[in-house]
Chain A
Amino acid sequence: MKQEQEPHIIGYGKLTAVWLGLLGLTALTVWVARHNVGIGHVWGSLAIAVAKGGLVIAFFMHMKYEGQLLRWLLFFALSVLAIFIGFTFFDVLYR
Chain B
Amino acid sequence: MSGPRHKDYGGAKLGMWLFLFTELLLFGGLFLLYGAYIARYPREFGAAGREMHLGFGTLNTVILITSSLLAAMSVTAIQRDERRRAIRLLWGTILCAAVFLSNKYLEWSAEIGNGIYPNSPRLAAGPPGESVFYSLYYLTVGLHGLHVLIGGTFLAIAAVRVQRGTINAGNYVLLENGALYWHLVDLIWIFIFPLYYLIL
Contacts and interface: CB of A to CB of B under 8 A. Distances in A.
Given A45-B194, A53-B187, A85 B80 contact: no
Contact of A60 (B13, B58, B183): B183
A33 B50 CA distance: 11
Interface in A17-75: 18-19, 22-23, 26, 29-30, 32-33, 41-42, 45-46, 48-49, 52-53, 56-57, 59-62, 69-70, 73-74
Contacts of B21: 73-74, 77
Interface stretch (B98-106, B117-125, B134-142, B165-173): B165-173
A88 B31 CA distance: 12
Contacts of A52: 190
Where chain A touches its partner, the secondary structure class is helix
Given A30-B54, A33-B199, A46-B199, 19 more contacts: A2-B171, A3-B9, A3-B171, A9-B79, A15-B72, A15-B76, A26-B61, A29-B193, A52-B190, A53-B187, A53-B190, A56-B190, A60-B68, A60-B69, A73-B21, A77-B24, A77-B25, A89-B39, A92-B40
12 contacts: A1-B4, A1-B170, A9-B80, A15-B72, A26-B62, A33-B197, A49-B190, A57-B183, A59-B72, A73-B21, A88-B32, A88-B35
